[in-house]
Amino acid sequence: MSKHEFTRRDFLGATAVAAGASIAAKTIRVPAPLFAQQRTVAPSDRVRFGMVGVGMQGSGLLATSIQIPGVECAGAADLYDGRHVLAREIVRADLPVTRRYQQLLDDKSIDCIVAAVPDHWHRRIVVDAVSAGKDIYCEKPMSHTAADGVAMVAAAKKSGRIVQIGSQRVSSNVVAKAREMVASGTLGDLMLVEGWLGRNSPTGAWEYPPPSDLSTKNLDWDTWQGDVTPKRALDPNVFARWRCWKEYGTGVAGDLLVHLISGMMAMLDINEAPRQAFAVGGIRHWKDGRNMPDVHATNYYYGDLPVYMRLNLATEMPETYRIQGSKGILEVRGDGLTFTPQSGNDDYPSYYAYSFPKAMRDAYFAKWHAENDARVAKEATSETITFHGRDYDDVEPHLANFFNAVRSRKPVVEDVVFGHHAALACHMANESYFRKNVVTWDEGRSAILG
Ligand SMILES: NC(=O)c1ccc[n+]([C@@H]2O[C@H](COP(=O)([O-])OP(=O)(O)OC[C@H]3O[C@@H](n4cnc5c(N)ncnc54)[C@H](O)[C@@H]3O)[C@@H](O)[C@H]2O)c1
């Protein structure tokens, strides 16, 4: 993951101030959320979790979770034995490990599950976990398909278990500050939201090196493939680079766009699927056999709000939002945000007046200056505000929010409905790209229509 993305933030300590000599700048530091801060936990309040999937993301979630006070790992499941070794290296040498996650679900001493498996396994694991009475933190995108998401929402609601989806932007302190500014009307009327993220490296484009010892002796490859047919012979590249294929992953939409979407939903207090999506893109650079686009740009309507999101795996562009309002622009980055106000008024007499005959023009200019010069002078000193987030990873507060909810039974910040709505935006982007057409979400039929 690139250093420019929210989860791997570099805190530069420098204040980014918008250009413009006449604009004053104010810099404010955003404190770390309270739930991320250390506290002591009574033994009776300890939460025991089972880890499912100890790969690239799961190993990080595991290492972070066991650092959270009052949280302990009771066992780990993975289909590849190399990840059993890794789990024991992270937690302790005698950690119980298994290829079958069902063993963790059967263990009554385990309170909850943290799952970081490829997208095509999310539905099965979430439905199985909540049906077995376990709360679950499941990685983003919540679902592999819209239908999977519908089934997951139904299972979670029926069981009453807690589901937290792992799009950690929702727990970002920068996103929280943006949310506050939007809610208080700082931006005026919301006009349009843009978001983008680009990478330009093989690793950024998911060309990950497969583990060197993979074989059907140390990996249950048949189970790894889930319901996907026809089954393939073991392909180490598919194991490591599954994001490239729609059979297992959800492309840049589910991998990266979901972060932009969930962050935007949190900032704008949206909890619904987009009404409409239209995407363009292509496999423009990484012609390595993948079937998901490496460039993917989608226009949405959220209600009547136009939203334009673009992803690119062959041009580096730090993850950024630009929220355009009638009172200015809010630019949100991983390490902070900048609000640049705009008055919405004319700074000069209208240039249309140059089409007037001289006498009429002179009269218009004189009147305009008499009525507006004092206001223009005042507006020229309006304040640009820059907030800097602390140098911390959003994943830790996002996990802590889940474990606290398991204890308290209070709602999580990103429940199954929010996760479903965020994932639907990704599925709509993919459906539109493949159908080359506008798609809409039909809530009544629970289907994406073309
Ligand atoms: N929130 C984030 O910033 C972030 C970052 C990276 C990945 N992710 C998400 O995390 C998930 C995992 O991604 P990854 O990069 O770690 O993948 P990965 O391929 O590196 O690891 C997945 C692991 O799950 C195991 N697995 C697969 N099916 C299983 C099953 N049925 N039972 C037990 N283990 C199983 C695999 O053997 C593998 O070790 C994906 O949904 C991805 O989108 C989220």
Q: What is the pLDDT of residues 122-178, one digit of tens each?
A: 999 999 999 999 999 999 999 999 999 999 999 999 999 999 999 999 999 999 999
Q: For the domain that residue 277 is a member of, what is the CATH number?
A: 3.30.360.10
Looking at ligand 1, which atom is closest to the CA of residue 219? 37
Most ligand 1 atoms within 8 A of CB, residue of 5, 9, 57, 218 to mutate? 57
Domain annotation covers residue 297: yes
Structure confidence by residue, pLDDT tens digits, 41-69: 777 789 999 999 999 999 999 999 999 99
3-class secondary-structure state, position 11: coil
Tokens for 150? 């519908």
Cis ω for the linkage preceding 318 (within 30 of 0): no
In a domain, 119, yes or no: no
Place of tokens 């004319």: 346
What's the CA-to-centroid distance between 431 and ligand 1, angstroms? 23
Ligand 1: residue whose CA is nearest its atom 4: 57
Residue span of the structural domain in which 390 resides: 6-35+170-223+237-343+382-449
Give me ligand 1 centre to Cα 110, in Å: 21
Residue 175 in domain: yes
Shortest-distance Cα residue to atom 9 of ligand 1: 139
Q: Tokens for 131, please give them.
A: 């049906």
In a domain, 421, yes or no: yes
Q: Is residue 124 part of a domain?
A: no
Q: What is the pTM of this model?
A: 0.92
Choosing from 61, 114, 139 the residue with most ligand 1 atoms within 8 A of its CB, the one to mutate for a pocket test is: 139
55 domain residue, yes or no: no
- For 53-208, strand residue ranges (E) read 71-77, 97-98, 112-115, 135-139, 163-166, 190-198
Total number of domains constituting the chain = 1
Residue 250 in domain: yes
- pLDDT per position as a tens digit, 204-232: 999 999 999 999 999 999 999 999 999 99
First to last CA, the chain: 33
Other CB atoms within a 10 A radius of the CB of residue 14 amount to: 9
Taking CB atoms and a 6 Å cutoff, what residues make up the pocket around ligand 1? 7, 52-58, 77-80, 83, 101, 116-119, 121, 139-140, 166, 168, 223-224, 255
CA 79–ligand 1 middle distance (angstroms): 11
Q: Is residue 398 a part of any domain in this protein?
A: yes
Task: Tell whether the model's pLDDT for residue 11 goes beyond 80.
Answer: no
By most ligand atoms within 8 Å of CB, the mutation choice from 2, 4, 8, 56 for ligand 1 is: 56
Least confident of 91-95, 169-173, 289-293, 306-310: 169-173
